[in-house]
Each structure stands twice: as C-alpha cells, then as structure tokens.
Structure 1
Amino acid sequence: MLFKTLSDYYEKLSKTQSRIEMVNILSEMFKQAAKGEISKLIYMTQGQLAPNFIGIEFGVADKIMEEAIMIATGYNKEEVESEYHKQGDLGEATENLIKSSKLARMSSKKYDVSDVYGSMYKIATISGKGSKEIKIRMLAELIAASDPIEAKYIVKYPLNSLRLGVGDETILEALSLMSTSERSNKSILDRSYNICSDLGEIGEIVLEGGIEAAKNMKVSLFKPIRPALAERLPTASEILNKMGGKCAVEQKYDGFRCQVHKDGNKVKLYSRRLEETTSMMPDIVKAVQDSIKAEKVIFEGEALAYNESTEEFLPFQETIQRKRKYGINEKIKELPLHLMAFDIMYLEGEDLLNKPYETRRELLEKAITGSDVISPSTRIITDSPKEFEEFFENSVENGLEGIVAKDLRSHYIAGARKFSWIKMKRSYRGELSDTLDLVIIGYYRGKGSRAELQFGGLLCAVYNKKRDMFETITKLGTGFTEDQMRKLQELLTKIKVDSKPARVDSLIEPDFWVYPKYVVTVKADEITESPMHTCGRSMQPDGTEAGYALRFPRLVGEEAIRADKSPEDATDTSEVIEMFSQQKKVSLSNK
C-alpha cells in the first residue's frame, strides 16, 4: 500500500465523529494490506512502532522535527515556528509549508507503507555519535519527497500526534468486519488479544488464516497477558452469595502490579499497562532467577516497598519512588521491594488459564517456595461472613487496601472484569467510599483566584468498553494543589484538539477539548442520576434520558495523573451502574 493511500484513509478517519464509520474505514483499509503489512498499518494507526511491551520509543522531539522541516521546505526557523504557533500542530503546519514551498520535490519515489515504517524504525533505534543528524536527514528526505497530506502524517506519526481516536476495540471490530463481514465475531479476537497483547500479530494471523486461525493462539513467554480485573461488591454476604457460598479471600496490596515471565535465566517484568519494567526492579529479577525453580513460568503479583526491620509494607507513596530510570541501586537499599504473588498463568509449557483458581494457587505456591523476596499473597478460604469481615477489617487496619475475593472454581479471565474476582475496599456508610479512575477529555479556563494559572477544572469521563467510547460523568474542580494545577495545565495544553474527539460522547462542551490520554483518581460523596452526563445514559420511565454523575467529586492522590493506567483502564460504565445499584441498596436498608 502506498503511504499516500494510507494518508488518505487517515484524512477520512480524522473527519468522522462516528465510531461505526471509523470501523468501516479501517476494515476497508485493512483489506488492501499485503501479508506482512497489516501489522505495520495497525502499529502506525495507533502511533506506535510495536506493541507497548516491546517498548520502542521514537526519540523525535519537536526541535528535531522542526530542523527536518526547515531542510525539506526551505523555510527558516522563525517561519516554521510561526506556522507551528498558528496551527498548534506541527503536522498541520508542515502541510501548509509544503503547499507554499517553492522547492521542488527531492525525489520522484512514491513511498509505500513499509518504506515509511522501516525508516521510522531506523530513526527510533539509531543511537550514538551523529545519530541526531542522521535522524534529521532521514526525516527531511521523507518530508521533501511527500505531497502535503503525506508530509502531515509523516510528521504526526513519530511525534505521537495522529489523534485519530482509534482504540483497541475499534481495531478488533474492524478486523472482524474485514475477515467475516460481521462485527459480532470480534469476541473471538478479544480472547486472542487478551493472551498476546499484540494487535499487529492478530492482524497478520487474521489476514492469512481468517478469524478462525485466531482461535488457535496460545499463551507465550514474553508476550504479556492482559490482566484479569475485579468487580465490586460492598459486603461479605453479597460476595459469598455471588460465589456460591464459599470463596478465597486474599489481601489486596497497593503497589506495582507485576507480571513475571521466566525462561531459564531470562526474566522480564511487565506492568499493569503491559510495559516492560524489568530494569526498574533488578531486586525482583534476581529473586526470580535465584529462587524460582521452574524453568518456564508466567505468574503475577504486587510489588511493594518493604521495611525489612519491622517486616511491614510501606504506603504506595513510598513504593512509587522505585519507579525510576536512574539511581535504582541506591533506592534498592533504601526501599527494597517484596513481591506478593497471587496467580500463575503458565508453567513448563502448559497454559493454565482454564485451570480452576484453586489448582492454579497450589501450582503457584509450589513454584515460588524458597524465596525471601517473593511470597504468596495472604489469604483464607471461608464460607463465613463473620470470618470474611474480620479478615477484611484486619487487612485494612494493617494499612492494606482491602481484599479480593476469588471464586475457587474460576478460570483466569484475561483482560476482563468478571464476578469471579470481587474486590472490597471498605463498606458503604452513607457515602461513595471507593474511588473512580476517570479520563480527562477537556478542561476549563481559570477564573477568579485561578485566572493566573489559566486552569479552572476538568471534564472527566468513564470508559464504556462495549461502545469503545468515553462517556462524561463529572466536572472536576476541587482537590487540586497549585502544583497539580500547573502540571495539568502544562500536560493538557499539549494535547488540545479543535473539536470533540471521535470516541467522546458528551452533551457538555468544555473550554478546551483534549485527546483522551490521561487518567485521574477521583472520590465523590455519591453517584446521582443526571440529564447532563452520558455515562450509562438511557431512557427513563417519564420519557426523558438520563445518565450518571458524581456528587461533590474531588481529586485524590499526591500525583495528578495515574501513570500506571491507560484511558481504557479507567473505571468502566458498567462499574458505575453497579456502584449506583449498591448505593441504592444501602440507602434503602438505612431507612
């Protein structure tokens, strides 16, 4: 496929607000891909060179790109920066500069998708003396040989500013439509994606063998499995009833979720977002190499900072200090990590996802014996609400988040939120006690005391996985420190967009729309029904439509942004509806 053809598809995607139309456009685009090309199309459309767990970054800053644009167009620095300032986007600026440039195209070559992808891969991976100059030259050659639309996307791609609004679920649905002419077969691809986390690989498999070929995908080492997620219920009795009267109750730890892959002496660690974190936790890696006897294994746990003298886990505010690229050895001495393992998914070549939880737990405990750094999570098995509540209260008193109850018969359900795992942080006592992770989709100008900061608050949304849409749930204006407001202002200014993003469902218009990228943690007094918000919006008995909103929301946590969560990891609409239902039950029981 010519890169010009891909650019034309991107133009169509950028101009539509309809997710259905986006799926149609992507499906048509994928049908034109050759073998070995569809994976590149998928990575490029998501602004990547590879899946997140590979961890390849472009390493192209605005200044490098500006120098390449100057060479390609013949304009000087002031002229390029002036157009950039006018357009607010370097890709859009380049399109206009190419249109008005008097320089002839440097080459008559028509680049195809593989040409551009290959050049970008080389630009991203080149290093050492003179690498900056090589990157500038290669970018300039690509831009100078392109027409204005191609040049726009050549610039946008490595700067991660495509902002086409194409999520994972949309791509999976488009692959289903491409292969079977049916969107509904996406569910087959969901499982494949959940066990390999690589949309490009799935695209190649579907293109070559059809959607049925995806059913044969197996768990593989060093391809992280999308983590299982827990539902919420407020009481021990309700949880036990949901699980058939008896379940395991594990302590819930507040640290770094850590998926461990081991093949002989080779060990890699992956975060909740499936990004590789091996270099940040050499103490965990060494413990796995020294004490895990299994040759091939995938297991997961929660890594927490640990006080070896008092044998106590430290708060997340301490643990977060271990997330760094430099000075790691010094922090290991100050804040050693302990890994509390809670599940195992693969052992000596065998996929364990469809084994019952209790079988997996037995295999986990055998696999991790003999380590001072890695321990199985503390748990009980009970059918008693009283014993359940006592274990929960003791966990909270010891500074932990709460508990996760697990169905003894359940499979490991990768990438999904099911009632086979149910978390309980604390009981409802007249207010919404749990927090929600919300996606920022817009922000407001500062007024009054905040006028100087130019930041007045946020418009936030939850994620509706079924629709692959972000639905508004609240305006957020309280709980910010001055430093947090400055940080948010700086971050959000860089991702402003001119109109409502394609995957945003909103009846409210903020002062500035932003591309859905950042997640914040919010606490509120309660969930209420609202005619203004689109979260779970449905027809009411009186003929009006209403969604759900938060009453008295406020930002919580020292960090303004949840760096460990992607927009698709935010609180789901279905969770909000369940929380509202539980809230109503508590309200009625208190009358």
Structure 2
Amino acid sequence: MEYATLAEYCRRLEAADADETLVETLAELFRTADADHLPLVVTMVRGKVAPRWEQVELGVSSSLTREAIVRATGVDGDALETEWRDRGDLGAAAEWAVGESPQTTLVSETLTVAGVHEQIRALADLKGAGSESKRVETVAGLLADADPEEARYLVRTVLGYMRVGVGDGTIRDAVAEAFLDADGEPAPGTPTATQPAVDAVEAAFQVTNDYREVAATARDRGIDGLRELDVRLGRPVESMLAQKAEGLAAGLANVARGDDRTATVSEGRTGTEVSESTDETSPWAGRVLAEVKYDGVRVQAHVDGDDVWLFTRRLVDVTEQFPEVVAALRGRVTTDRALLDGELVGYDPESGAPVPFQEFSRRIRQEEDVAGLAAEIPAVCHLFDCLVADEETLLDAPLRERLDLLDETVAFPDPTDEPVGTRDLAPGDRDGRVTPDDEAAVSDETLPSDAAPGDDEHPTLRRAAWCVPSDEAAARSFYRAAVEAGHEGVMVKNLAASYQPGRRVGQMLKHKPVMEPLDLVVTRATYSEGRRSELLGRLFLGAYDPDAESFHEVGRLSTGYTDEELERLTERLEELVVSRDGRDVDLQPEVVLEVEYEEIQSSPEYASGYALRFPRFLGVRGDLDPSDADTVARVESLYDEQ
C-alpha cells in the first residue's frame, strides 16, 4: 500500500464532521488494506507504530522534527517557526514547507506504508552518540520523498499525535463496521454495525490489548474467531479501574447493587449463593468486600514457569526494577501459570511506614543501581486478584471465586501469623466487624523496624488487607484504620462481579478522604518570568471527558515544584509541543500531574465551567495514562460536595 493512500484517508478522517462518517471512512481504509498492511494501518492511523504495551519510544522531539523539515526542504527556519505558530500544528507547517521547498530531489522514491513504518519504528533502536543526528537524517529522508499531504501525516506520526479524531472507540467501531455481520440492535455512532458486533470486538481487545490482532482476526475468522482469543502471559491486560464513591455508605450500597439489580450470583467455589433483589433497602452484608487502598503502583504479575513479567497500569514493563518481587513470585506462586493483580507499595525500612507514592515512584524510573534503591525503598506486592490460574482464564468468574483461586495460587503467610486486620475474613469465619483491637492491628500492619520486606517473617508478597463487613460501622472502622496506617483509603468490591479490563466499573469503587488530590493532564503552558524564564512554570490543567475523548481545563498551576522538578517537567513537556505563540505553547495531552487545591469554584473562564483555587503541584503520575485522569464529572461532583 502506498503511503499516499493512508495520507488521503487521514485527510478524510480529519475532515469528518460526524461520528458515523469517521467510522465509515476508517472502516473503508481497513477494508482497503491487505493482510500485510492492516496491522500497520490500525496503529499508524493513531500516530503509533506499535501497540501501547510494547512501550516504543521514538525519541524524536518537535525541535528535532523541525530541524529535519528544514534539512529536507531548505525553507528558512524562522519562516517555518512562523507557519508552525500560525497553523498551530507542526504537521501542517511541514505540509507548507514541502509545498514551498526550493530544493529539488533528483531521485525520489514512492513511499509505502510498510517502508515508512519500518523506518520510523527503527528510530526507537537508535542509541548513544550520534543517535539524534541519525534520527534527524531518517526523518529528513522520509520528508524528501514526501508530497505535501504525506509530509503532514509523516510529521504527526513521528510526534505520535495524528489529530484526526480517532481513538480506541473509533477503532473498535470501525473493525466491527468493516468485517463483522451480526444480527442485533444497531450500535450508536456507526453506519451499519450492530451492538453485538461492537461488543465482540471490545471483548477481544480486552483480552489481547492489541487491535492489530483483533482486526486481522475479525477479517479472517469473524465473531467466532474473536471469541477464541484469550489472555497471553507476557502481554499485559488492561487493568479494571474503580470509580470514586460518593461517600462510604453510598459506595457500599451501589457496589452491592451493581449494574443489574436483579442479577443472581452463581454458586462460587465457596459454595455461597447470593441473590440480589430489586429492593434498594436490602442489606449488602456478605455481598461486598472492603479492602485497603494502597498508595503505590498498580502492578500486573505474569508467571509462566520460570518466566516472570511485571507491568504497571500504563502497561510499562518494570520487571527489571523489582528483582525482589520477581524472586518472591518465583518462590511463592504454586501453579505453573498465573496472572495476578496487585499494588506495589514502598516501605521505610527503619520506621516500617508506607512511603509516599512520589518517593516510591523513583523505583519505576531507576535503570542503574537497582539493588541499591531496592534496599533504600523495599517493596511489598499486595495482591488482590487472580486473572489466570494454570490453564484457566478467570475474567468472567465472580470475584469471590477469583479470590479463592488467589489463595490457592500464592503461598501467602499463615493467616494466624498475620495481624487481625489482614486475615482472610470470609463470610462465616467471623462477622467482619473491625473492633478497636482490630483497628490497632490494621494500623500495625506496617513492617516492624527490625525487618525489611523479603525475609521469612515479612514476605514481599502479601494478600491485600481486607474484610467482609457486616454493617456500615464495621466498614467505616476498617476505613479509618486504613487511613491511620498511612494508606489512601478503601476499595469496596462486589463479590459477584466479573473482571472487566480497561473499564471504570460501578461494582468496584474507591473511597478516600474528601477533597483528595486530583490527577489532571497538562494541556498547554507558558514560560515563567525572571530566573525561571527558560522553564514552563505556568501549566494549564485539564480534566478528562471520556465521551469526547478530550480534556477541559480546570485551572492553571504555578506553585509546588522545586527548580529541579520544574526542569525535569519542562524537559518532558517541550517534547510534546504542537504549536507555539510567543511564550505560550500548546501540548499533546500526555503528562498527568497530581494536584492538591484549596477548593473548586464555578468559573466561566474554563471550558469545564470550574476552576481550582490555589492548585499546588504534588508530583507527576507516571503510572497513569491521560485517559486515567480525573473526569470533568468527578470535578463537578467534588464541587457539589464542598
């Protein structure tokens, strides 16, 4: 397939003025691609050259790309800067530059999708001295062979931001539209695809996390083929995410009810059968698990014989950074194959107190002297779910059954040797009420000062502290104990719920102290004045709108960071610049910050309708994707709660 074909479709996608037009155009592109090119097109239409979990970093900033455009076209650098600022898009400026180029290429090769993919993908492998020069040379070479329209999308692909309105939901709908013929109700936003077809594509993506494989399977084997796709150890599954509870009492009631108020829970491995009624006042005792919410790094542990992988919530492979956890998994997982969900938490080896996330996150970034940092901030992996046990995939199994298998799959410490607050409190063992003595036990769950994680007495792998409370008082006592122990709060989970990768679900809610910090995305920025004039010290923050897959600003941040933190943050943000206007820059919305604030105010100044009063920087949430940021709806909810 010639690259000009892909560029033409991208132009049509960019011009689409309705969801159905977007899906129809993308489906046509997918049908046009042959077997070799379909996987490439599926990723490249989003400005990527690999699925997200492969963590391919091209290492090409906007400044390097600008240099490549000048080298390939011979246009004046200042004129290019002007076009970039006026058009608000370096891709559009590249289109102008190629059209205005005074240079004539004697021999020009026709660009192909496969050839462009190969050369751009190879940029990630360039290392060491001279690698930046080689990147510029590669991009310039591609642009020298490109026509203006091809240049527009080449540059956007190199920068990883296509600006054509295509997200995961569009890919899903277009695959169903292009390749599946299934009876059922029409799916919203598609020309002809049905809801069963869309659901089949989404279910396949949940277990594979790879639309390349999903699209090829849908084309070749239809819905039956999609249903045969399964979890593959070594390839991460999207984590199931929790919504935020509007208070503990409401959270318990909502979780117990779940999405289907008349659902009957099938008998689990414990032999317990639970039926839910339509009576909103029916007790939730025995239906809901309360679990400590740790302030750490969500981690997914894959074990396949001696092979072990650790992936964060952002699907980053951090196996090398946590050797003690890998060793513990090899020693304590009792099955040949397992996929476990949990939270990595750092602990102070002297006090035994949990370490704040921003300090512990240093271990994610560490590449040298891993052992030294592991001794400074030892990690405990608190496990709370089991998604694969031997040959059985458990995504559709109820949580109650998955927890039983978690206990069978991992050799946890004897519950009688653990603090009361961390024991397995299954219904029937006790009523789940946390007494004052139990509160102290939960609070003392932290490590003693004379032992670090990893020894026989205090193992690196632990079952997350939990109970099945009998009433609201028990749940609230458990919550207080968790917060007093230095943890974030509690999770409440429906024991009958299945595991839904990549979804924020109502059957799992998190409850933390009110006015907790928000996770927000940097959308644009302004250089500071005075001694920080070279640093992006004024950052505009956006909350996520999942329906529009966009961000609405809620304020501007300019305090809370040290000079060193701001230097690192500026370096990261300057790689994401998509347009400049004097000292103002627009950014690709990729960096997530944790921000505290005094209150939320109503404000017509920002598109969200809200503004944070006195926002203050707490840290970078490198473990979160932009789509994991707090939503506009969450900001509105917190505003109403004040």
TM-score, structure 2 length as denominator?
Answer: 0.76
Query: Deviation per CA, 1:534-588, whole angstroms, max 9, x where unpaired?
Result: 55xxxxxxxxxxxx5245251341x2x322212111123454455566x2xxx7x
Matching residue of 1:566: 625
Q: What SS does structure 1 have at the residue aligned with 2:158?
A: coil
Letter in 2 for 1:318: E
Q: What SS does structure 2 have at the residue aligned with 1:346?
A: strand
Q: Does 1:412 align with 2:499?
A: yes
In 2, Cα distance between equivalents of 1:413 and 1:14: 32
In 1, Cα distance between equivalents of 2:558 and 2:144: 48
Given that 1:250 and 1:404 are in contact with CA atoms closer than 8 Å, whether structure 2 keeps it comes out as: yes
Query: Deviation per CA, 1:15-61, whole angstroms, max 9, x where unpaired?
Result: 56765544343233223211232221122122222112222222446
Letter in 1 for 2:466: R
Letter in 2 for 1:366: E
Query: Deviation per CA, 1:91-120, whole angstroms, max 9, x where unpaired?
Result: 455444433445544545423212221233
Matching residue of 1:276: 317
In 2, Cα distance between equivalents of 1:497 and 1:140: 18
In 2, Cα distance between equivalents of 1:462 and 1:34: 39
Given that 2:62 and 2:577 are in contact with CA atoms closer than 8 Å, whether structure 1 keeps it comes out as: no
Matching residue of 2:204: 192
TM-align CA RMSD: 3.5
In 2, Cα distance between equivalents of 1:235 and 1:94: 51
Matching residue of 1:339: 381
Q: What SS does structure 2 have at the residue aligned with 1:313?
A: coil
Q: What SS does structure 1 have at the residue aligned with 2:309?
A: strand
Question: Structure 1 64/517 Cα, relative in aligned 2: closer, same or farther at 3 Å?
Answer: closer
Matching residue of 2:338: 297
Q: Which moved more, 1:487-496 or 1:359-368?
A: 487-496
Given that 1:304 and 1:337 are in contact with CA atoms closer than 8 Å, whether structure 2 keeps it comes out as: yes
Q: Does 1:374 align with 2:461?
A: yes
Question: Structure 1 494/62 Cα, relative in aligned 2: closer, same or farther at 3 Å?
Answer: closer
Matching residue of 1:86: 82
Q: What SS does structure 2 have at the residue aligned with 1:188?
A: helix
**How many percent of aligned residue pairs carry the same amino acid?**
26
Given that 1:35 and 1:208 are in contact with CA atoms closer than 8 Å, whether structure 2 keeps it comes out as: no
Matching residue of 1:545: none
CA drift at 1:479: 4.1
Query: Deviation per CA, 1:478-514, whole angstroms, max 9, x where unpaired?
Result: 64446366666665555444599xxxxxxxxx96543
Question: Structure 1 461/450 Cα, relative in aligned 2: closer, same or farther at 3 Å?
Answer: farther
Letter in 1 for 2:10: Y
In 1, Cα distance between equivalents of 2:617 and 2:60: 33
Q: Which moved more, 1:127-136 or 1:318-327?
A: 127-136
Q: 437, 457, 464: which is aligned to 2:545? A: 464
Letter in 2 for 1:118: E
Question: Structure 1 170/438 Cα, relative in aligned 2: closer, same or farther at 3 Å?
Answer: farther
Q: What SS does structure 1 have at the residue aligned with 2:343?
A: strand
* Structural mapping, 1:496-535, within 5 Å: 496-497=577-578, 513-524=586-597, 535=608
* Structural mapping, 1:313-328, within 5 Å: 313-323=354-364, 324-328=366-370
Matching residue of 2:521: 439
Letter in 1 for 2:407: E
Question: Structure 1 495/87 Cα, relative in aligned 2: closer, same or farther at 3 Å?
Answer: farther
Q: Does 1:355 align with 2:397?
A: yes
In 1, Cα distance between equivalents of 2:70 and 2:398: 61
CA drift at 1:361: 1.1
Matching residue of 1:99: 99
CA drift at 1:130: 8.4
Question: Structure 1 308/174 Cα, relative in aligned 2: closer, same or farther at 3 Å?
Answer: same
Query: Deviation per CA, 1:116-170, whole angstroms, max 9, x where unpaired?
Result: 2123334433668987777666545433333232234334423335444432223
CA drift at 1:367: 1.7
Q: Which runs of 5+ in 2 are unaligned?
A: 181-190, 257-282, 413-453
Matching residue of 1:182: 192
Q: 193, 200, 215: which is aligned to 1:203? A: 215
Matching residue of 2:263: none
Letter in 1 for 2:51: P
Q: Which moved more, 1:567-576 or 1:297-306?
A: 567-576
Query: Deviation per CA, 1:366-392, whole angstroms, max 9, x where unpaired?
Result: 222157211110111112211111111
CA drift at 1:344: 0.8
Matching residue of 1:251: 292
In 2, Cα distance between equivalents of 1:188 and 1:40: 22
Given that 2:161 and 2:588 are in contact with CA atoms closer than 8 Å, whether structure 1 keeps it comes out as: no
Matching residue of 1:539: none
Given that 2:70 and 2:77 are in contact with CA atoms closer than 8 Å, whether structure 1 keeps it comes out as: no
Matching residue of 2:41: 41
Q: Does 1:29 align with 2:109?
A: no
Q: Does 1:263 align with 2:344?
A: no
Question: Structure 1 219/389 Cα, relative in aligned 2: closer, same or farther at 3 Å?
Answer: same
In 1, Cα distance between equivalents of 2:252 and 2:61: 53
Matching residue of 1:224: 236
Q: What SS does structure 1 have at the residue aligned with 2:54?
A: coil
Q: What SS does structure 2 have at the residue aligned with 1:307?
A: coil
In 2, Cα distance between equivalents of 1:240 and 1:133: 57
Q: What SS does structure 1 have at the residue aligned with 2:368?
A: coil
Question: Structure 1 16/347 Cα, relative in aligned 2: closer, same or farther at 3 Å?
Answer: same
Q: Does 1:555 align with 2:616?
A: yes
CA drift at 1:515: 2.9
Given that 2:555 and 2:606 are in contact with CA atoms closer than 8 Å, whether structure 1 keeps it comes out as: no
Given that 1:24 and 1:174 are in contact with CA atoms closer than 8 Å, whether structure 2 keeps it comes out as: yes
* Structural mapping, 1:49-198, within 5 Å: 49-60=49-60, 72-73=72-73, 75=74, 81-88=77-84, 91-92=91-92, 94-101=94-101, 103-107=103-107, 109-125=109-125, 139-179=139-179, 181-182=191-192, 185=195, 186-198=198-210
Query: Deviation per CA, 1:324-382, whole angstroms, max 9, x where unpaired?
Result: 22221221222221111111101111111121212211211222215721111011111
TM-score, structure 1 length as denominator?
Answer: 0.82
In 1, Cα distance between equivalents of 2:585 and 2:128: 40
Letter in 2 for 1:381: V
In 1, Cα distance between equivalents of 2:9 and 2:348: 55
Q: What SS does structure 1 have at the residue aligned with 2:408?
A: helix
Q: What SS does structure 2 have at the residue aligned with 1:386?
A: helix
Given that 1:163 and 1:515 are in contact with CA atoms closer than 8 Å, whether structure 2 keeps it comes out as: no
Given that 1:176 and 1:182 are in contact with CA atoms closer than 8 Å, whether structure 2 keeps it comes out as: no
Letter in 2 for 1:549: Y
CA drift at 1:476: 2.7
Letter in 1 for 2:544: Y
Given that 2:398 and 2:495 are in contact with CA atoms closer than 8 Å, whether structure 1 keeps it comes out as: yes
Letter in 1 for 2:409: A
Question: Structure 1 72/238 Cα, relative in aligned 2: closer, same or farther at 3 Å?
Answer: closer
In 1, Cα distance between equivalents of 2:637 and 2:520: 16
Given that 2:557 and 2:617 are in contact with CA atoms closer than 8 Å, whether structure 1 keeps it comes out as: no
CA drift at 1:532: 6.2
Question: Structure 1 385/12 Cα, relative in aligned 2: closer, same or farther at 3 Å?
Answer: same
In 2, Cα distance between equivalents of 1:400 and 1:308: 17
Q: Give the length in aligned residue pairs.
A: 549
Question: Structure 1 451/117 Cα, relative in aligned 2: closer, same or farther at 3 Å?
Answer: closer
Matching residue of 2:428: none
Q: What SS does structure 2 have at the residue aligned with 1:369?
A: coil
